[in-house]
Amino acid sequence: MINMTGRRIVVALGGNAILAKDASAEAQQRALQETARHLVNFVKEGDQLIITHGNGPQVGNLLLQQAAGSTETNPPMPLDTAVAMTQGSIGYWLQNALTTALAEQGLSSDVATLVTQVVVSDDDPAFTHPTKPIGPFYDLTAMQKINATHPEFEFVEDAGRGFRRVVPSPRPVDVKEAGVVKAMVNAGIIPIACGGGGVPVVSSHNQLIGREAVIDKDFASEKLAELVEADLLIILTAVDHVYVDFNQPTQRALTKVAIDELREYVTDGQFAAGSMLPKVEAAMAFVTHRPTGQAVITSLENLADYVQTGSGTVISSQALVTDYD
**Is 223 part of the annotated catalytic residue set?**
no
84, 40, 45: which is closest to 62 by C-alpha?
84
**Is 256 part of the annotated catalytic residue set?**
no
182, 263, 272, 191: which is closest to 230 by C-alpha?
182
Cα–Cα dist 184/269, whole Å: 40
Catalytic residue, chosen from 217, 223, 293, 312, is 217
Strands (E), 124-276: 132-138, 154-157, 163-167, 172-175, 190-192, 199-204, 207-210, 232-237, 242-244, 252-258
Catalytic residue, chosen from 91, 132, 196, 197, is 132
Catalytic residue, chosen from 16, 44, 46, 88, is 16
**Is 69 part of the annotated catalytic residue set?**
no
Catalytic residue, chosen from 14, 15, 56, 196, is 15
Cα–Cα dist 138/301, whole Å: 28
DSSP assigned state of 39? H
Strands 232-237 and 294-299: parallel
8 A C-beta contact, residue 196 and residue 99? no
Cα–Cα dist 217/214, whole Å: 9
Cα–Cα dist 252/182, whole Å: 38
8 A C-beta contact, residue 49 and residue 11? yes
**Is 279 part of the annotated catalytic residue set?**
yes
Catalytic residue, chosen from 60, 279, 293, 312, is 279
**Is 197 part of the annotated catalytic residue set?**
no
Residues assigned a catalytic role: 15-16, 132, 217, 279
